[in-house]
Amino acid sequence: MELFEECQVISSLIDAGREQAARDKVIELLSRLERGANGYPEVVNHLIRSVGLFPYIHAPSAAWQDRFAVEAFKADVGAGKRAALHIEQSRLLSKLLDGESLAVSAPTSFGKSFVIDALIAIRKPARVLIIVPTIALMDETRRRLQKKFARTHRVLTATSDHMAEGQFIMVCPQERAISLADQIDELDLFVVDEFYKASSDFDPDRSAALVRAIVRFSSIARQKYFLAPNVERLAASPLTDGLEFVKLDFNTVLLKVSNHFESIGKDEKAKSERLRSILASAPGKTLVYAGTHAQVEAVASLLRLWRRGSKSELLKSFSAWLRTHYGAAWKLPELVALGVGVHNGQLHRPLSQIQVQLFDEEPSMEILVSTSSIIEGVNTSAENVVIWSAKNGSGRISDFDFRNIAGRSGRMFRHFVGNVFVLDEPPPAVETQLSLELPECLLGFADVDGASISAEQREHCDSFRGDLARVMPTADVRELLEGRSLQSSDTAQIRVIAQRIAANPKDFRALRFLLAEDPERWSIPLYRVIDLSSSPWGVPHNEIVSVVKVLSDNWTSTIPELLERLESVQVNVDKFFKLERLVSYRLASLISDINAIHGKIVPDRGFDISPFSARLSAAFLPPVVSALEEYGLPRMICRKIQGVGIIDFESKELTAETAIAQLKEHESNIRSWSTFGEFDRYLLKHFYEGVRGE
Amino acid sequence: MGVAKPVELQSKEFRTQGEAREFFSAMLKRYKVGAALSDEDSALLGQLLRRHRCYDEIVGCGIDSFTTTIAEEGSKCFAVLRDDGTVCGFSYHKCITRAE
């Protein structure tokens, strides 16, 4: 079709009031048009304006009326930059600037986060809390905001000694936010990204903590902005009181979905062949959603057969770096050398971050194979998404997840059209109605006392508090439930701990051995603690105990050395990642809660194991080193810096903030050290870029 | 047919070693690795342990409590949690038979 005819079709769609169809056609047209030095033909710019996609207008080649429209829709988006918003972003921003609190559902490519930046830049709220679902998303958000707002706000991801002073933007997951609640008295803006995760239908394990955070911070926030993709309706609930639900279908990229699953059926060989032909023919980068670890492995095996070694020196050095630091037996170094990355929620954080970065920036990193970790809003610039398996770790994915995964393809300004290849039968399409409720497991925490609850729920609170009061003084019950000493958001778990300790207090005398220097003395108390969990661990308990003991040398030993010591319990590097995460989060939290409750039930016990849970929560690394991994700086690099002696990461006085200040101070010195290899330098560059303002 | 060898503990008597083995095997099965034994079971196990030829070595600096652990060959066994936090597994079979 000639350009003129295409424009006529689009124009007719606009006249007929079919804006979305017109917008899709415009996006499709833009994907085919090469924008040369002269920009777009005037008529195309005009059509872009007519469908509200102002950011896509090429101002120099547009008519003055269209240029004027672009200017009118420009807003300060931080760091003094003005950028055009599309029409729905602009409407949304306008409501927020009027002070309204909103719960917004909009497609993945809408640019919901961009609106946060504009709101902060224009309204300049002094105290901002942004809750994100994962540490990966936390770092991505922190990096974006640090660049834009470092001059006006302290962009934080953890507690700071000077929280009360000056303006801050705190970005963190819900659990960390709860632990900070006592340090934040008021908020000017409270943002919850991916707020659908407050429903147990979407996140059974962590929804309660998110609800708890929402209840706690909503009560002190002047304005709220909750974001989610693809939610059709939001049921009325006390948790969303005062929020206007805004459903927007405005898309800025076009998804082209091609279904292959019907012709493939159950034929695994045909599926593999189809994947091979897609990868060979689809232009640009491809994200392969494999769903489970087993399927990631299956896809990786195929890619190892099909792909030739990358010529990229950067990927070669990354591969060598991985072999050195994680051992030659691991499969990731081989895949990286083939231009393939792997994304899952268990890898050491700098490894996930750097692979996403390479996928975005390094032409030779062409494929990223992922588990469900990619659903949770990690932004990549994949032109294509292959849905290899419509499953996740716990069964078949929902239609909601399916749309989220598909939405990872295409990206504003980079790929107008995202191609989605479906190789496994997708779930039936359903409209997502979100209903946020106060879960039973929170009833009893002081945080939710302010929420409006039914008489039945009140009875539940009283029953829980009564059970605790039977085993400890009432004042201690109050202190436990009002303070921040408990990390769990599950009253059932707290009740189990309290009742088991009270029934057999002498069984828990052994907890004191967790303070012993010799890790061999930790086994029995660890088994007893592990057994107090009210939900299964998913791995044999002896593996957990073995990993904790071996991890005690995490700072002084290399990972291949640790793995060698774990050979007897068949813990390989992949399992090591999983177990390290499990013990440093779940087990450390459980031990911390057991310690707090045990101290109340047996006040004269004569010991306190909080130093052990603190060490475990950092996986026995110096706490600052563990925190810096969230910023993308691997422990191996910190160890080298420690070795040279210019920064003492083991110092108890050092915080992440002061460590970053020292790292910045010595930047040119550190980056020029001959002790660092090529990939160390790349990692340092990535780290420094993320802690600098513009 | 061999003569039945009774196993006499301070508070319990088994007519044969087989009967004692059956009793302590069932006890071992009741506990997860690392669990604390009940007072009653601890008392009986303490009496049984006295029959072990390496009793002093096993007890070491003193018994905090009885528990179970994983033996070197990978199977579960009874153990002493000593006062210093170290753990020493032992075989109830050896206690019953008084073998080396």
| Chain A residues close to B81, C-beta within 8 Å | 510, 524
**Phi-psi category of residue B52: left, alpha or beta, with phi > 0 → left and psi -120 to 50 → alpha:** beta
| Chain A residues close to B63, C-beta within 8 Å | none
| Chain A residues close to B35, C-beta within 8 Å | 527-528, 531
pLDDT, tens only, A342-365: 998 899 999 999 999 999 999 999
pLDDT at A164 over 80: no
| CA distance to A118, A290, A331, A376, B69, per residue, from A228 (Å) | 18, 23, 35, 11, 48
Interchain CB distance below 8 Å, A528 and B35 = yes
Give the rounded percent of residues in chain A with a pLDDT score beyond 90: 87
pLDDT at A481 over 90: yes
Contact between B35 and B42 (Cβ < 8 Å): no
Q: What is the mean pLDDT of residues A593-607?
A: 97
pLDDT at A377 over 70: no
Residue A249's SS3 state is: coil
pLDDT at B1 over 70: no
Structure tokens at A559: 């990972």
Rounded mean pLDDT of chain A?
Answer: 94
Q: Say how many C-beta atoms besides its own lie within 10 A of residue B68's C-beta.
A: 24
pLDDT at A210 over 80: yes
Å between A517 CA and nearest CA of chain B: 11
Give the rounded percent of residues in chain A with a pLDDT score beyond 70: 99
Q: Which residue has the higher pLDDT, A377 or A210?
A: A210
- In 3D, which of B97, B75, B64 has the Cα closest to residue A528? B64
Give residue B100's pLDDT: 62
Give residue A113's pLDDT: 86
**What is the 3-state composition of chain B as percent helix, strand, coil, each rounded to the nearest 5?**
35, 25, 40
Q: Which residue has the higher pLDDT, A598 or A159?
A: A598
Q: How far apart are the first and last CA of chain A?
A: 45
Give the CA-trace dihedral at A295, A301, A305, A311, to 10 degrees.
Answer: 100
Distance separating alpha carbons of residues B69 and B79, to the nearest angstrom: 6
Instruction: Give me the residues of B, 29-58, that contact A with CB < 8 A.
Output: 32-36
- In 3D, which of A349, A400, A346, A341 has the Cα closest to residue A375? A400
Structure tokens at A270: 């045909």
pLDDT, tens only, A533-554: 999 999 999 999 999 999 999 9
pLDDT at A109 over 90: no
Rounded mean pLDDT of chain B?
Answer: 94
Q: How many CB pairs under 8 A join A and B?
A: 52
Contacts 24+ apart (CB under 8 A), B37-45: B37/B65, B37/B66, B37/B67, B37/B68, B41/B66, B42/B66, B43/B11, B44/B9, B44/B11, B44/B12, B45/B78, B45/B92
pLDDT at A155 over 70: yes
Give residue A374's pLDDT: 76
pLDDT at A530 over 90: yes
pLDDT at A331 over 90: yes
Residue B65, chain A, CB below 8 Å: the answer is yes
pLDDT at A114 over 70: yes
Å between A569 CA and nearest CA of chain B: 10
State the number of CA atoms in the 13 A half-sphere of A400 facing the CB: 21
Q: Which residue(s) pair with A224 in the sheet?
A: A190
pLDDT, tens only, A4-42: 899 999 999 999 999 999 999 999 999 988 777 778 999
Q: Which of A523, A570, A587 would you mutate first to test chain B, the one with the most B CBs within 10 A?
A: A523
Q: What is the mean pLDDT of residues A203-231?
A: 95
Q: Are strands B13-14 and B7-8 parallel, antiparallel or unpaired?
A: antiparallel
| CA distance to A208, A430, A456, A480, per residue, from A452 (Å) | 16, 31, 12, 22
Interchain CB distance below 8 Å, A541 and B32 = yes
- Quickly list DSSP for A461-530: HHHHHHHHHTTS-HHHHHHHHHSS------HHHHHHHHHHHHH-GGGGGGGGGGG-SSGGGGHHHHHHHH
Q: How confident is the model at residue A80 (pLDDT cuts 50, 70, 90)?
A: confident
Give residue A161's pLDDT: 66
Interchain CB distance below 8 Å, A531 and B64 = no
From the list A506, A520, A530, the residue facing B86 with the nearest CB is: A520
Residue A548, chain B, CB below 8 Å: the answer is no
Q: For the whole model, what pTM was predicted?
A: 0.93
- In 3D, which of A205, A210, A292 has the Cα closest to residue A533? A205
pLDDT, tens only, B20-68: 999 999 999 999 999 999 999 999 999 999 999 999 999 999 999 999 9
pLDDT at A74 over 90: yes
| Chain B residues close to A545, C-beta within 8 Å | 34
> Residues 6 or more apart from A617 whose CB is under 8 A from it?
A584, A585, A588, A589, A592, A626
Q: Which of A514, A521, A524 would you mutate first to test chain B, the one with the most B CBs within 10 A?
A: A524
Residue A681, chain B, CB below 8 Å: the answer is no
Eight-class DSSP state of A240: G
pLDDT, tens only, A419-445: 999 999 999 999 999 999 999 999 999
Give residue A303's pLDDT: 97
Q: What is the mean pLDDT of residues B74-87?
A: 96
ipTM attached to this prediction: 0.90
Eight-class DSSP state of A442: G
